[in-house]
Structure 1
C-alpha cells in the first residue's frame, strides 16, 4: 500500500528509484503499483517524473 501523504510518497518513491529501480515503470511493475496513481498524487503537489534523472522533481 502506498502512503496517502504525497510528501511521504515522494520521499519513498525517489528513494526506491535512486537505490533499487532503473525507471518508474520498473518500480511499478516490480512493486505492483499503478503508475497513474503515483503520478496523479504527486502532481497535486507539483511534482512530475523526470525519466532522464529517474526521480520526481
Structure 2
C-alpha cells in the first residue's frame, strides 16, 4: 500500500511535524519512506511561511 501525504499545506505541515516528532529522526528518513523529495515538502511548507529546522527536526 502506497503511503499518501496530505495535499493541503497546513494539514501537511501538521502531519509532517507529528511524524517527525513521533516516528522519524530526520526529514530525509520520512522522505525515503514516503518516496518523496524533501525539496517538494520544503517548498510546500514555505508557501505558508514554514521552514524546516533540522536541529529541531520540525517545521516552524
Out of 3, 6, 14, the position equivalent to 2:6 is 3
Deviation at 1:30, TM superposition (A): 1.6
Alignment correspondent of 1:37? 40
Find the partner of 2:50 among 33, 47, 55. Answer: 47
CA separation in 1, counterparts of 2:47 and 2:21?
A: 22
Q: Which runs of 5+ in 2 are unaligned?
A: none
Distance in 2 of aligned mates of 1:50 and 1:56: 6
Shift of residue 42 of structure 1? 0.5
> Which whole-Å CA distance do the structure 2 matches of 1:9 and 1:16 have between them?
10
Question: What TM-score do the two structures reach when normalised by structure 1?
Answer: 0.92
Runs of 5+ in structure 1 lacking a partner? none
1:19 aligns with 2:48: no
